[in-house]
Amino acid sequence: MVDIIGRHQKVKSITVEFKIPMNVVFISGHLDKGESPLQAAERETKEEAGLDKNDVEYYNKFEEKITYNVNGRSKDVFYYLARIRNNQQNIKLSDEHQNLTWSNLQDACNLVKHDEMQNVLRKAEQFILNYQ
């Protein structure tokens, strides 16, 4: 479960680094019992960045899914796009993370390195540019 948070008119992604091991990721987590992917994204955004669903506005027509195998099991990862309602909003990282970075599209693609994730970022930027 992952969120992409946009600011301004072009995509700006929020990435966080776990303390151990040093991974650059988007806000993410697992589904709790009975949760939809979007509900899990909202919960994880609150837990990992201190932003609740009133702090962000989700673009309800943007959802991307990547499926990959982990230890022989299929795993679906959902990506959502949202904008912070107040650009001055304070973001408070959870104790699991050590750093937060706002990146433009190119820098975010360089950070994530995986082609599938880069494609999601490009789709998010295209969505924002075409959003009416």
Query: For the packed helices 105-112 and 115-130, what is the interaxial angle rounded to 10 degrees?
Result: 160
Neighbours of 6 (CB within 10 A): 23
Residue-range domain boundaries for the chain? 2-130
Nearest residue to 16 (alpha-carbon basis) of 29, 30, 35:
29
pLDDT (tens digit, 9 = 90+) per residue, 11-53? 455 555 444 444 556 777 788 999 998 898 889 888 888 888 8
Would you state the pLDDT for residue 15?
Answer: 52
Q: Is 72 exposed, middle or buried (0-12, 13-18, 19+ CB in 10 A)?
A: exposed
The residue type of 122 is: R
Residue 30 · residue 37 · CB < 8 Å: no
The mean of the pLDDT values for the chain is 78
- When the candidates are 3.40.50.1100, 3.40.50.300, 3.30.1490.190, 3.90.79.10, the CATH number that belongs to 2-130 is 3.90.79.10
pTM: 0.77
